[in-house]
């Protein structure tokens, strides 16, 4: 049914008579999804600045992996909590000043440091459009918003190398085809020296950690800003970064 | 000069409705909206697609839209000295073709004159010394009128890039209320624009008004395919492929969804013909291109 989220959109939904499940939802047929997947894959490779295409590719290929992910969350007490409350990580909801004031090594402090060092913001994540289930749309949104936190937990920067490492970790953890594609095709643009480091140290570590760790989407990060990163790593089962 | 003609808006057009406040209901693609909302939404669509308009046209029609526009120009067959108004001319495709066409006709004219220069009258020889020798357009002119600033901007940039300057002007204006005098133009065209006009009847009346007696109105627009098999294939392509192209190429699904819906809502060939006749045009006729995917309607002001 239609959640009353984004009240101003409800009238439009009524008017259009589509089966929009959430604001921004564009219902698509299987053929359209296939075409979108192919088209967005090509466009994402052709023009790497088209981040929207990466997002679309993710949405159109994740129909099998997302329900699995959602079930993992449902069957875990903290994950279930997250699905109920649907927290969002946005600049408007984060108290940056408070997080900055936290001790070094804590999740909150390191996360803000990560945002500043790499000059990124949590608000640049695209909302989902082509996921045909409202709860799954939230799951993929949560995954996108948690991505930066994963960078922090894994200690990886946002350059090409760091992104590929995080993708390997995410691929093992979530099974999302987009992560697998990113993990496999991402390295093509790296130099041989970096590829070596990647292959010998970083990827094996990422895989081992990903397999060993419990589901990263089952952590209510917003309630754990004070927790030291090291302790959270241990709790999850992520091995210390090389 | 381009002073506005005083048009008295026919007040009786508003259909009697329970709530007159918002205005009559109209369609925006398959949605039902008020007149004002429709104008606004359409403006926003073209504002958002302007930069990728040409790329999208080529992708959606596999380049065939160029042929359609060429055919329109050949049908028009303008001679040098023609004054053309291209309404909803946005990115300038028709205007540039017009300039190319009259330039080449003019060139042939001049070549013929040179070959038979002994047949020139004294008057003609005198005039040829007076006029700019490189009157390559023969005093032809085209005015591109569009309601959308972004589209005009793209058009002007294109003109500069391609080297078009002479005989070309750009005017911001509404097809339903053209900022031109009566009886001014030899030809008035609207290519893939009339579908987006909220009050087509007004646009046709305006076109009639600004044309000189003897002037011709030409409308190139998506129309209806009667062949059932082709119609189904066309629908499949339109609804399944085109919005995807819009999302992938322009990052804009919704504008292209609107495009295919608006094509379905547009009056078919015979109905548009009747509307032209209502506006006062004579010898109204239409020509189907590609089995009716596109049609060119033509009418004359007498």
- Please report the ipTM that was assigned to this predicted complex: 0.77
Cβ distance of B248 and A43 shorter than 8 Å: yes
pLDDT tier for residue A192 given thresholds of 50, 70 and 90? confident
Whether residue A57 lies inside any domain: the answer is: no
Average pLDDT over every residue of A184-212: 82
Instruction: Write down the pLDDT at residue A18.
Output: 54
Containing domain of residue A148, as a range? Answer: 65-236
Cβ distance of B240 and A29 shorter than 8 Å: yes
Residue among B30, B33, B253 minimizing CB distance to A26: B253
Instruction: Write down the pLDDT at residue B289.
Output: 95
Whether residue A17 lies inside any domain: the answer is: no
Instruction: Write down the pLDDT at residue B15.
Output: 37
Instruction: Write down the pLDDT at residue B133.
Output: 57
Q: Is a pLDDT exceeding 60 seen at residue A9?
A: no
Q: Output the CA–CA distances (angstroms, integers) from residue B52 to A119, B149, B249, in the order listed.
A: 30, 15, 8
pLDDT tier for residue B22 given thresholds of 50, 70 and 90? very low
The CA distance from A72 to A84, in Å, is 14
Mean pLDDT value across chain A: 82
Q: Is a pLDDT exceeding 50 seen at residue A65?
A: yes
Instruction: Write down the pLDDT at residue A105.
Output: 86
Work out how many CB contacts closer than 8 A connect A with B.
34
Q: Is a pLDDT exceeding 70 seen at residue B142?
A: yes
Q: Any CB–CB contact under 8 A between B251 and chain A?
A: yes
List, edge to edge, every strand of the sheet that includes B83-87. B168-172, B141-146, B83-87, B185-191, B211-222, B294-300, B282-289
Average pLDDT over every residue of B35-41: 86
Mean pLDDT value across chain B: 86
In terms of pLDDT, which residue wins out, B86 or B10?
B86
Average pLDDT over every residue of B137-146: 91
Average pLDDT over every residue of A48-65: 87
Q: Any CB–CB contact under 8 A between B70 and chain A?
A: no
Nearest Cα residue in chain A from B247: A36
Q: Is a pLDDT exceeding 80 seen at residue A14?
A: no
Q: Is a pLDDT exceeding 70 seen at residue B14?
A: no
- Confirm if B170 and B144 have CB atoms less than 8 A apart: yes
Residue among A29, A42, A56 minimizing CB distance to B247: A56
Average the pLDDT over each of A220-224, B179-183, B264-268 and give the range with the smallest value: A220-224
Q: Any CB–CB contact under 8 A between A30 and chain B?
A: no
Cβ distance of B248 and A39 shorter than 8 Å: yes
Instruction: Write down the pLDDT at residue B16.
Output: 38
Average pLDDT over every residue of A66-84: 90
Instruction: Tokens for A138, please give them.
Output: 């939230």
Residue among B30, B247, B254 minimizing CB distance to A36: B247
Nearest Cα residue in chain A from B261: A16
B118 Cβ contact partners less than 8 Å away, ≥ 6 residues apart: none
The beta strand positions in chain B, using DSSP E, are 25-28, 31-34, 83-87, 141-146, 168-172, 185-191, 211-222, 282-289, 294-300
Q: Is a pLDDT exceeding 60 seen at residue B174?
A: yes
Average pLDDT over every residue of A148-174: 86
Instruction: Write down the pLDDT at residue B179.
Output: 96
Q: Any CB–CB contact under 8 A between B237 and chain A?
A: no
Whether residue A50 lies inside any domain: the answer is: no
- A chain contacts of residue B31, beta-carbon cutoff 8 Å: 15-16
pLDDT tens digit sequence for B212-262: 999 999 999 999 999 999 999 999 999 999 999 999 998 889 889 988 998
**Percent of chain A with pLDDT strictly greater than 70:** 92
How many structural domains does chain A have?
1
Q: Any CB–CB contact under 8 A between B247 and chain A?
A: yes
pLDDT tier for residue B8 given thresholds of 50, 70 and 90? very low
Q: Output the CA–CA distances (angstroms, integers) from residue A46 to A30, A53, A176, in the order listed.
A: 24, 10, 22
Cβ distance of A43 and B245 shorter than 8 Å: no
pLDDT tens digit sequence for B183-202: 999 999 999 999 999 899 99
Whether residue A213 lies inside any domain: the answer is: yes
Output the CA angle B69-B70-B71, nearest 5 degrees.
90
Average pLDDT over every residue of B154-170: 94
Nearest CA to A86 among A145, A11, A20? A145
**What angle, rounded to 10 degrees, do the helices at B64-76 and B93-115 form?**
50
Average pLDDT over every residue of A67-90: 89
pLDDT tens digit sequence for A157-166: 888 888 888 8
Whether residue A23 lies inside any domain: the answer is: no
A residues 42..81 contacting B (CB < 8 A):
42-43, 50, 52-53, 56
Instruction: Write down the pLDDT at residue B23.
Output: 56
Instruction: Write down the pLDDT at residue B38.
Output: 86
Whether residue A33 lies inside any domain: the answer is: no
Question: Which of A9, A11, A13, A15 has the highest number of chain B CBs within 10 A, making it the mutation to test binding with B?
Answer: A15
Strands B211-222 and B294-300 turn out to be antiparallel
What pTM value is reported for the model?
0.77
- Confirm if A57 and A41 have CB atoms less than 8 A apart: yes
Residue boundaries of the structural domains of chain B = 63-108+140-223+266-301
Instruction: Write down the pLDDT at residue B130.
Output: 60
Whether residue A15 lies inside any domain: the answer is: no
Average the pLDDT over each of A15-24, A133-142, A177-186, A225-234 and give the range with the smallest value: A15-24
Q: Is a pLDDT exceeding 80 seen at residue A202?
A: yes
CATH hierarchy code of domain B63-108+140-223+266-301: 3.40.50.150
pLDDT tier for residue A4 given thresholds of 50, 70 and 90? very low
pLDDT tier for residue B120 given thresholds of 50, 70 and 90? low
Whether residue A201 lies inside any domain: the answer is: yes
Report phi then psi at B178, rounded to 5. -70, 135
């Amino acid at each position: 049914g239609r959640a009353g989220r984004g009240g101003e959109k409800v009238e439009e939904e009524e008017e259009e008579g589509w089966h929009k499940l959430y604001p921004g939802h564009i219902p698509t047929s299987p053929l359209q999804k296939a075409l979108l997947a192919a088209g967005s894959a090509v466009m994402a490779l052709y023009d790497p600045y088209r981040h929207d295409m990466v997002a679309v590719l993710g949405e159109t290929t994740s129909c099998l992996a997302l329900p699995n992910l959602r079930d993992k969350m449902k069957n875990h007490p903290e994950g279930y909590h997250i699905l109920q409350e649907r927290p969002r990580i946005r600049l408007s909801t984060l108290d940056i000043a408070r997080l900055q004031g936290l001790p070094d090594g804590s999740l909150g402090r390191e996360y803000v440091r990560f945002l500043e060092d790499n000059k990124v913001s949590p608000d640049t994540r695209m909302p989902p459009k082509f996921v045909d289930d409202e709860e799954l749309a939230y799951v993929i949104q949560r995954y996108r918003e948690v991505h930066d936190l994963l960078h922090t937990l894994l200690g990886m920067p946002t350059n090409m190398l760091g992104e590929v490492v995080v993708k390997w970790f995410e691929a093992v953890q979530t099974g999302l085809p987009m992560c697998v594609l990113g993990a496999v095709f991402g390295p093509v643009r790296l130099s041989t020296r970096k590829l070596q480091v990647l292959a010998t140290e970083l990827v094996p570590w990422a895989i081992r950690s990903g397999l060993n760790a419990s589901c990263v989407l089952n952590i209510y990060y917003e309630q754990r800003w004070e927790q030291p990163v090291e302790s959270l790593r241990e709790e999850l089962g992520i091995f210390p970064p090389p | 000069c381009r002073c506005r003609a005083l048009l008295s808006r026919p007040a009786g057009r508003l259909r009697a409705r329970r709530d007159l406040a918002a205005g009559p209901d109209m369609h925006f693609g398959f949605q039902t909206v008020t007149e004002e909302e429709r104008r606004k939404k359409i403006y926003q669509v073209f504002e958002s697609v302007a930069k990728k308009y040409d790329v999208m046209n080529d992708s959606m029609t596999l380049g065939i839209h160029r042929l359609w526009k060429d055919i329109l120009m050949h049908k028009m067959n303008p001679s040098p000295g023609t004054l053309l108004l291209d309404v909803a001319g946005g990115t300038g495709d028709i205007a540039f073709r017009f300039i190319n066409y009259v330039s080449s006709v003019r060139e042939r004219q001049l070549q013929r004159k040179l070959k038979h220069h002994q047949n020139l009258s004294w008057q003609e020889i005198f005039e040829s010394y007076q006029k700019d020798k490189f009157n390559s357009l023969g005093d032809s002119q085209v005015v591109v009128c569009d309601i959308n600033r972004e589209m005009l901007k793209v058009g002007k940039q294109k003109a500069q890039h391609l080297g078009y300057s002479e005989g070309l002007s750009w005017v911001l204006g509404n097809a339903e209320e053209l900022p031109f005098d009566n009886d001014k133009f030899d030809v008035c065209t609207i290519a893939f624009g009339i579908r987006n006009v909220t009050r087509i009847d007004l646009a046709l009346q305006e076109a009639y008004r600004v044309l000189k007696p003897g002037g011709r109105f030409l409308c190139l627009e998506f129309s209806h395919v009667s062949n059932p098999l082709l119609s189904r294939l066309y629908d499949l392509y339109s609804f399944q492929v085109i919005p995807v192209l819009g999302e992938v190429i322009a990052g804009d699904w919704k504008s292209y969804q609107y495009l295919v819906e608006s094509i379905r809502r547009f009056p078919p060939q015979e109905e548009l013909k009747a509307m032209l006749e209502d506006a006062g045009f004579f010898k109204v006729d239409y020509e189907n291109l590609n089995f009716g995917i596109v049609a060119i309607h033509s009418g004359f002001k007498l």
